[in-house]
Amino acid sequence: MGALESKGRTEQNEFAKHVEEGLSAKEKRISSMYLYDDEGSRLFEEIMDLPEYYPTRCELEILKKYKRTILELTCIGTEIYVVDLGAGNGLKTMVLLHYFTGRANFKYVPIDISKSALNDLENNLKLNYADLPFECIHGEYMESLRSMKSRPDVRKLILFLGSTIGNFTFREAMHFLSDLHDALNKDDLVLIGFDIMKDPHIIRSAYNDSKGVTAKFNFNLLVRMNRELGANFDLNNFLFYPMYDPSTGEMKSYLVSKTEQVVYFKALNRSFQFHTWEPIHTECSNKYDVKMIEELAVRTKFEIEENFYDSKKYFLDSLWKVR
Ligand SMILES: C[S@@+](CC[C@H](N)C(=O)[O-])C[C@H]1O[C@@H](n2cnc3c(N)ncnc32)[C@H](O)[C@@H]1O
């Protein structure tokens, strides 16, 4: 078996193990990380272009406006690695890279679990940014990052954009950022995109668009389990249900079973029972206020260098330094 084939097998086994654990839990859930297969990544790009999906436009505005300040706060004449965690199509990052080119000595390191997103990004870089030094890493954030700690001579600017931090609960975000802190060296920087609490209608519409693309993005998880794990989900037996709780900032999405049903998984050689109106939690996209962001930074041993808002104050890119 070749190395690539073996990596593919391991990923498949991890997916199977995760699904088995998630569907055996009292409250069924599957990590949003598994929404991003080839089709999921394509659908996410479609979501980013939707009129209701404000985060991309807001963050783009921030990066365009503050790219110079971000570079000034990052660069002290040394070599930098710009590490893009969950880079996706890297569209917004390109604003920074374009500005950094010729002004800083840097290498771009996008990391993503989605092979197709990374392939598209690589092709775009080769075609449109021929002079830009880069190294794409296909894998999970933290595993990939840890392998870079051994270069304390190189300052890192970690980008965690697109409100991907919101896919974690507050407690998970704290663990993730503590691990991130430990994988970095003193004075390394992290730019994190936080979606800010706002009119609940605006938030809910962003995850319940009128064209139904976000619903399709979530349903694609069932399609993926049918294809990769030999499951026999009937998509007609589920409905998509997103809900926002303004008291906690939690935006949660579910696929809800419309009927009593049993779904068989060939890869697991077992079935799962779904009761009528029983949900599978597929995604959380948590919203923050500044106090929560400050608490996160303090508790994970980072210092906030600067907060950059868009003009509507819908979104915040917060620049943190390792204490
Ligand atoms: C919300 S999108 C953000 C994409 C991009 N950073 C942006 O701001 O538009 C999340 C990205 O993270 C990737 N991703 C999700 N979980 C991951 C993980 N555990 N390790 C690496 N990449 C992951 C997905 O494939 C997807 O491309």
Residue 86 CA to ligand 1 centre (angstroms): 3
Show Cβ contacts of residue 87 under 8 Å, excluding neighbours closer than 6 positions: 93, 110, 111, 112, 117, 118, 121, 159
Question: Where residue 76 falls among pLDDT bands split at 50, 70, 90?
Answer: low
Pocket test for ligand 1, best of 45, 85, 164, 179 (most atoms within 8 A of CB): 164
Question: Where residue 1 falls among pLDDT bands split at 50, 70, 90?
Answer: very low
117 CA: nearest ligand 1 atom: 27
Residue 63 CA to ligand 1 centre (angstroms): 18
- pLDDT over 60 at 4, yes or no: no
Average pLDDT rounded to a whole number, residues 43-67: 97
- pLDDT over 90 at 148, yes or no: no
Least confident range from 136-140, 189-193, 286-290: namely: 136-140
Q: What pLDDT shows up at residue 154?
A: 87
Residue 88 CA to ligand 1 centre (angstroms): 6
Average pLDDT rounded to a whole number, residues 128-143: 90
Name the β-bridge partners of 83. Answer: 109, 158
**9-35 pLDDT, tens per residue?**
677 889 999 999 999 999 999 999 999
Protein residues whose CB sits closer than 6 Å to any atom of ligand 1: 33, 36, 41, 44, 86-88, 92, 111-114, 117, 140-141, 161-162, 164
Question: Where residue 7 falls among pLDDT bands split at 50, 70, 90?
Answer: low
Residue spans of alpha helices (H) in 129-279: 141-146, 170-182, 200-206, 213-229
Average pLDDT rounded to a whole number, residues 241-261: 98
Cα torsion 140, 221, 228, 48: sign: negative
- pLDDT over 70 at 295, yes or no: yes
Residue 36 CA to ligand 1 centre (angstroms): 8
Residue 42 CA to ligand 1 centre (angstroms): 12
Pocket test for ligand 1, best of 30, 33, 35, 60 (most atoms within 8 A of CB): 33
159 CA: nearest ligand 1 atom: 6
Residue 89 CA to ligand 1 centre (angstroms): 9
The contacts found for 271-278 with CB under 8 angstroms, 24 or more apart, are: 272/23, 272/24, 272/28, 274/28, 278/28
- pLDDT over 90 at 146, yes or no: no
Residue given tokens 């950094």 in the structure block: 100
Residue given tokens 């590490």 in the structure block: 83
Question: Where residue 244 falls among pLDDT bands split at 50, 70, 90?
Answer: very high
114 CA: nearest ligand 1 atom: 25
What is the percent of the chain with per-residue pLDDT over 70, rounded to a whole number?
Answer: 96
C-alpha 99: how far from chain center: 24
Residue 161 CA to ligand 1 centre (angstroms): 9
Residue 284 CA to ligand 1 centre (angstroms): 13
Least confident range from 18-27, 139-148, 241-250: namely: 139-148
Spatial separation of the C-alpha atoms in residues 161 and 300, rounded to whole Å: 18
The secondary structure of residue 104, as a DSSP letter, is B
- pLDDT over 60 at 43, yes or no: yes
φ and ψ at residue 270, rounded to 5 degrees: -155, 165
Q: What pLDDT shows up at residue 8?
A: 65
Average pLDDT rounded to a whole number, residues 128-135: 91
Nearest to 11 by CA among 272, 240, 224, 280: 224
Q: What pLDDT shows up at residue 119?
A: 94
The overall pTM is greater than 0.75? yes
**96-129 pLDDT, tens per residue?**
999 999 999 999 999 999 999 999 999 999 999 8
59 CA: nearest ligand 1 atom: 8
Spatial separation of the C-alpha atoms in residues 293 and 291, rounded to whole Å: 5
164 CA: nearest ligand 1 atom: 1
Give the closest residue (by CA) to ligand 1 atom 3: 162
- pLDDT over 90 at 75, yes or no: no
- Other beta carbons within 10 angstroms of residue 164's beta carbon come to 17
Question: Where residue 142 falls among pLDDT bands split at 50, 70, 90?
Answer: confident
Strands (E), the chain: 80-85, 106-112, 137-138, 155-160, 189-195, 238-245, 250-257, 261-265, 270-274, 279-284, 302-309, 315-322
Amino acid 53 reads Y
How far CA 123 is from CA of 93, 97, 117, 161, 301, in Å, comes to 15, 16, 10, 21, 37
CA atoms within 13 A on the CB side of 217: 25
